[in-house]
């Protein structure tokens, strides 16, 4: 089953077997997120997560940058969160349930970020929401919201301290620092750094390794890791055991055992 085409040329899709590559495609704006990109990115991530054939998502940007954040020009003209022509809207509660930041957090399909160039603001938060980050040598993360009199509204203040600790997160945000790929690796913000021309090959290799494993096991592990951030140890273990019983009854468990005994590569089908 193939994903449907994107409704905007600002977001590109490419499916390779069990992997889908989603590319932010506004290179002239360093892939700043427009209103059309916001809705379409959420829709395609949800569609990929629901597709049993998709076992890994790779998110990257076109051109020399990953994502420079929300398009402030678009926002100022009413494109993001504004009314028609930038006019005032009635006061209302905001709803982020379908926003990319919540969709990316809640899905069980693994996401790899192929970090090409700069990730700033919303773009940095998008990269932090990915399970794995592979950086090209020219990649950098810009925690510069304090220079714009805004905050990391897209989950950054929750994610970054959990990734690098309170003190380092405070340093990055309060000083509005931009860190290059090597320092990102040192801080644990990325998994590895590779030459720019090897970035997508490496990301696809890692995605393929993930896709070759049992999808139920990978996706359940991701869900348990996510839930475990807010659970006690006893609750987490109890949830794990509740999942384990049905997995023992699955065709993929039997395939894994048979492949081990027969010393061959398993062929998992997701059942």
Based on the fold, state whether residues 169 and 195 are members of the same structural domain. Answer: yes
**How many residues are recorded in the chain?**
271
**Predicted TM-score (pTM) of this structure:** 0.90
The reported pLDDT for the residue numbered 236 is 92
Average pLDDT for residues 26-30, to the nearest whole number? 93
For residues 18 and 53, give the distance between their C-alpha atoms in angstroms, rounded to a whole number: 6
Which of 211, 227, 247 is the endpoint of a domain?
211
268 occurs within a structural domain: no
Ranges of beta strands (E only) in the chain are 11-16, 19-24, 56-61, 111-115, 118-120, 132-136, 140-142, 178-180, 192-194
Q: Where a domain ends, among 211, 234, 249?
A: 211
- The answer to whether the Cα torsion of 47, 52, 57, 63 is positive or negative is negative
**Do the strands 132-136 and 140-142 form a parallel or antiparallel pair, or are they unpaired?**
unpaired
Least confident of 42-46, 81-85, 102-106: 81-85
Residues 103 and 161 in one domain: yes
Q: Which domain CATH number covers 245?
A: 1.10.12
Q: Specify whether 205 is located in the same domain as 238.
A: no
Give the pLDDT of residue 84. Answer: 43
Q: State the Cα–Cα distance between residues 176 and 265, nearest whole angstrom.
A: 48
Chosen domain end from 169, 194, 211: 211
pLDDT confidence of residue 74: 60
What local confidence, expressed as pLDDT, does residue 72 receive? Answer: 65
Same domain, 197 and 221: no
pLDDT in tens, 52-64: 999 999 999 999 9
Residues 191 and 112 in one domain: yes
Taking a C-beta distance cutoff of 8 angstroms, is the pair 89, 28 a contact?
no
Instruction: Identify whether 160 is part of a domain.
Output: yes
Number of domains in the chain: 2
- Mean pLDDT estimate for the chain: 90
pLDDT digits (tens, 9 = 90+) for 155-178: 899 999 999 999 999 999 999 999
Statement to judge: residues 70 and 199 lie in one domain: yes
Is 261 a residue whose pLDDT tops 60? yes
pLDDT tens for each residue of 10-20: 999 999 999 99
Instruction: Please indicate, yes or no, whether residues 27 and 128 belong to a single structural domain of this protein.
Output: yes
Residues 178 and 108 reside in one and the same domain: yes
Q: 195 and 220 share a domain?
A: no
Q: What is the pLDDT of residues 199-233, one digit of tens each?
A: 999 999 999 999 999 999 999 999 999 999 999 99
Residues 206 and 125 in one domain: yes
pLDDT class for 8, splitting at 50, 70, 90?
confident
39 lies in the same domain as 17 = yes
CB atoms within 10 A of CB 153: 14
The CATH number given to whatever domain includes residue 182 is 3.90.226.10
**Position 51 pLDDT exceeds 80:** yes
Residues spanned by the domain of 47:
11-211
Same domain, 48 and 24: yes
Cα–Cα distance measured from residue 110 to residue 93, given in angstroms and rounded to the nearest whole number: 31
């Amino acid at each position: 089953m193939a994903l449907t085409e994107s409704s905007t040329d600002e977001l590109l899709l490419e499916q390779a077997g069990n992997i889908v590559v989603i590319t932010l495609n506004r290179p002239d704006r360093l892939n700043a997120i427009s209103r059309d990109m916001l809705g379409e990115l959420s829709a395609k991530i949800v569609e990929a997560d629901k597709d049993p054939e998709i076992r890994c998502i790779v998110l990257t940007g076109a051109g020399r940058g990953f994502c420079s954040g929300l398009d402030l020009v678009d926002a100022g003209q009413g494109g993001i969160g504004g009314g028609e022509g930038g006019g005032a809207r009635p006061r209302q509660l905001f709803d982020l349930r379908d926003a990319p930041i919540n969709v990316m957090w809640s899905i069980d399909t693994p996401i790899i970020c192929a970090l090409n160039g700069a990730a700033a603001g919303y773009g940095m938060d998008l990269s932090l929401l990915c399970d794995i980050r592979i950086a090209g040598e020219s990649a950098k993360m810009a925690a510069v919201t304090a220079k714009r009199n805004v905050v990391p509204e897209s989950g950054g203040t929750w994610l970054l301290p959990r990734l690098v600790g309170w003190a380092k997160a405070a340093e990055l945000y309060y000083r509005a620092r931009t860190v290059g790929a090597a320092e990102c690796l040192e801080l644990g913000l990325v998994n590895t750094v590779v030459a720019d021309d090897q970035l997508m090959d490496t990301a696809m290799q890692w995605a393929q390794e993930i896709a070759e494993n049992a999808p139920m096991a990978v996706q359940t592990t991701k869900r348990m890791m996510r839930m475990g951030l807010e659970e006690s140890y006893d609750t987490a273990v109890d949830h794990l055991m509740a999942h384990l019983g049905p997995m023992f009854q699955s065709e993929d468990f039997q395939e894994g055992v048979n492949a081990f005994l027969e010393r061959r590569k398993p062929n998992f089908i997701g059942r």
